[in-house]
Structure 1
C-alpha cells in the first residue's frame, strides 16, 4: 500500500472480492421542494407528541452513563400490545426489535443463512435483499414474479424444492410494486420448506380494507416471521425502529447474533412514546391511502400503466427513457424514485399539495417522454 491516507482509494484496500465495484445503497438525498422518493410519511408528529418525545429523550439522558436494557423488554411488550389490537395474543417473547427493519433482516440472515446457505426472494422486490445475502456470505436466488408482479406459487414451490433455501423473503406489500401476496400462498410456501419464511410487511398499515396480515398465520406456521417497521405509517423514519413477530425460539435466535446493547436508550424511550400515541400517528394513513388511490386513477387517465398497490406508493410506466422523465421532474423540483423494472418509476403518496405539484410537473414532461417512445418504435 502506497501514498498518504488522504490519497488512499478503495482499490488500495484489501476489500472482500464480492464488494469490489459495489456502491453504497441509498436513494438520492437532494434538497428539492417535493420529495416523493423514499416512501416516507409526509406528516410529522404533532406538537404534543414532539413534546413527549423530547421529555422521554431527556429522561433517558439522565442515565446515559449506563447501558440500555439490552433486551428492550418494555419496548417489545409495547410492540406486542400494538399488534394485539388486531386480535392476536402475542407477548414480548414473540417480538424482536432492532434499528429499522433492515437490522431485523440482517439478524435473521445472520441466524439462519450464511456460507453454503441460500436466501430466496421474488423479483422485482426490495433491492436490499441481495445485499443482506451478500453481507452474510449467503447465496441469493431470485425467482421472477409474473408480469403483473404477483408470485406464481406453483413455480415458487418448484424453486423451493430445487434450491432448498434456508430463508425465503416475501415482501407484501411488495416494494417497489405495491402488490400483496395472499395468506394461502404464504401458507403453501411455509409448508413447502424447512427453512424460515419472512413476510416483510413494512407497508401493511396502508393495505386496502379486507387485506389480511400474515400475522394470522403465526399460530399454524411455526417457521414464519412477520417483519414490520415504524418508519412508514408511524412517521418514525428518523427513529429507526423495526421489529418482527415470530415464535419465541426465532426471537431467541436473533438474540444470539445481535450486537450488545444494539438499541439505544433514547430509541427505546421515544419509540414507546410513538406507540402510546399510535392512534394519532396513524390517523393520516387513511389520507395517504386516498391520495394513493386517486393517483392510480389519475395516472390511468393519462394513459399510463400502474401496478396494483396496497402500499403508500405507486409504480407507474412504461417509458422508453425513464431516466429522462425522472430528470425532467427533478428539474421541476419533484424527486421520485428510479427503481424497479426497466421503464417504470415509483412515486410516494404525499400531501395534497405535493401530489398537485407532481401532477403538474408530470404533465409538463410527459409529451417529451411520448416523443422519445415514438422515436424508439
Structure 2
C-alpha cells in the first residue's frame, strides 16, 4: 500500500515556495523593503492588544469594519462608488483566488490565463479540481486581444485570470483588453468571471489605469488587491477583492468558518488608518524601479516595461549560473519566468546598488 494515500495528480509535485535564504540582499519575493513606521507599528500593536482581550470569542465573520475601510481606500485608489458589500477579504490574495476557484470552478469547468503568468494560478485550479487552460502572450509579453478573445469563446472558462501588472513580467493590460474579455466571458452560458489581479496595482506608472474604473460597466469583473506589497504587510496576510455583491455572497458558501482572525482584522484596520504614510514609499520604489530598468537596458539586457515593484530581465544562455553567482555575492533574486530570464525585486537604494555591482561582476566574468 502506498502511504499516505495522496491524490494521484499530486504525487511528485514540489510545494510552492521561493528560496528563503539568509543573505545580505534579499530581492526575490517582491516584498516592500520599507516596514511600517514606529507610529504605525505602535498603532497596530495597540489594535492587536485590544483584540487579544476577546480572543476567547470568534471574530466578526463579516469583518464589517475592515470592509468599510477597504471600500473607502479603493474609492481613493481608482474606484468609483465601491461599497462595503462589494468587498471581500481573506488571508492573502492567494486565499481570495482559491475561494473564487472553489466557488466558480470545479469538475467539468475550466479556468484560463495567458503565460507567462503567476505560477500559483494552475495550482489554484488544480486544488479546486478545475481544468487549467493556458494561452500564450506575445514575444513582448503583451496580449494578442483577438487571439485571447477567440480562446475564451472557444473554451468558455468560468474564470479568466488576468494579472495586471503581470507577474513575472511586470506588464500591465490596457482597459480595452479587460473590457473585451469581460464581454466575451459574458456572452455564453453559464458565463465567466474575469479576475484582474492587481496585487502590484499601486506601483503602476502614471497614466496606467486601474481595472477598478471598469467595475460599473462589467458585472462579471473582479478586481483583487493585497496589502502585502504597497502596504508593507506581507506578514499580515490580507488580500481582498472588489466585485458585484453577488460574488461575495457566493464565496460565503465555500469559505471556512471565521476564516479571517480577529488579529488579522485588527492589524489591517489599523494599517488602513496609516495608508498615506505606508503608501508614501511607493513613489520611492517607482523611482528606484525606473532607474533599475534603465540601468539594466544600458547593460544590453532586455527588460519589459514594468508597472510593478520588480523587473524581469534577460536573456541569459544559462540563467541559473547567473542566479547562483549573484547568490555567491550575497544577492538573492528569483529564477522565474521564461527560460533565460531572471526577476529582481526593487529594494532600497543601497540594496539596488549592491545588486548592480554584483551583476556587473557576473557579466564581466561571462564576457
Q: TM-score, normalised by structure 1?
A: 0.95
Residue in 1 that maps onto 2:183:
191
How far residue 356 of structure 1 moved from its aligned partner, in angstroms, is 0.4
State the alpha-carbon separation in 2 of the partners of residues 167 and 257 from structure 1: 16
State the alpha-carbon separation in 2 of the partners of residues 289 and 141 from structure 1: 33
Residue in 2 that maps onto 1:73:
64
SS where residue 346 of structure 1 aligns?
Answer: strand
SS where residue 30 of structure 2 aligns?
Answer: coil
CA RMSD of aligned residues (A): 0.8
Residue in 2 that maps onto 1:374:
none
Q: 8 Å contact 1:187–1:217 — kept in the other structure? A: yes
State the alpha-carbon separation in 2 of the partners of residues 89 and 163 from structure 1: 33
Residue in 2 that maps onto 1:7:
none
Residue in 1 that maps onto 2:209:
212
SS where residue 235 of structure 2 aligns?
Answer: helix
State the alpha-carbon separation in 2 of the partners of residues 110 and 269 from structure 1: 27
Residue in 1 that maps onto 2:363:
366
Residue in 1 that maps onto 2:256:
259
Matches within 5 A, 1:130-169: 130-169=122-161
SS where residue 12 of structure 1 aligns?
Answer: coil
Runs (4 or more) in structure 1 with deviation over 3 Å come to none
Unmatched 5+ stretches in structure 1: 2-10, 371-377
SS where residue 366 of structure 1 aligns?
Answer: helix
Q: Which stretch has the larger CA shift, 169-178 or 77-86?
A: 77-86
Q: 8 Å contact 1:61–1:266 — kept in the other structure? A: yes
Q: TM-score, normalised by structure 2?
A: 0.97
Q: 1:269 aligns with which of 262, 266, 269?
A: 266
Q: For each residue in 1:288-345, what CA deviation from the matched residue of structure 2 results, as whole angstroms up to 9, or x when unmatched? A: 0000000011011111110111000000000000000000000010000000000000
Q: How many residues align?
A: 361
Q: 2:86 aligns with which of 89, 94, 101?
A: 94
How far residue 12 of structure 1 moved from its aligned partner, in angstroms, is 2.3
How far residue 87 of structure 1 moved from its aligned partner, in angstroms, is 5.2
SS where residue 237 of structure 1 aligns?
Answer: coil
Q: For each residue in 1:98-144, what CA deviation from the matched residue of structure 2 results, as whole angstroms up to 9, or x when unmatched? A: 00000000110011001110000010000000000000000000100
**Structure 2 residue 33 is the aligned partner of structure 1 residue 33:** no
State the alpha-carbon separation in 2 of the partners of residues 78 and 369 from structure 1: 51
How far residue 90 of structure 1 moved from its aligned partner, in angstroms, is 1.1
State the alpha-carbon separation in 2 of the partners of residues 369 and 228 from structure 1: 40
- In structure 2, the CA distance between the partners of 1:256 and 1:369, relative to structure 1 (3 Å rule), is farther
State the alpha-carbon separation in 2 of the partners of residues 369 and 293 from structure 1: 26
Matches within 5 A, 1:1-377: 1=1, 12-85=3-76, 86=78, 88-193=80-185, 194-370=191-367
How far residue 368 of structure 1 moved from its aligned partner, in angstroms, is 3.3
Q: 8 Å contact 2:79–2:213 — kept in the other structure? A: no
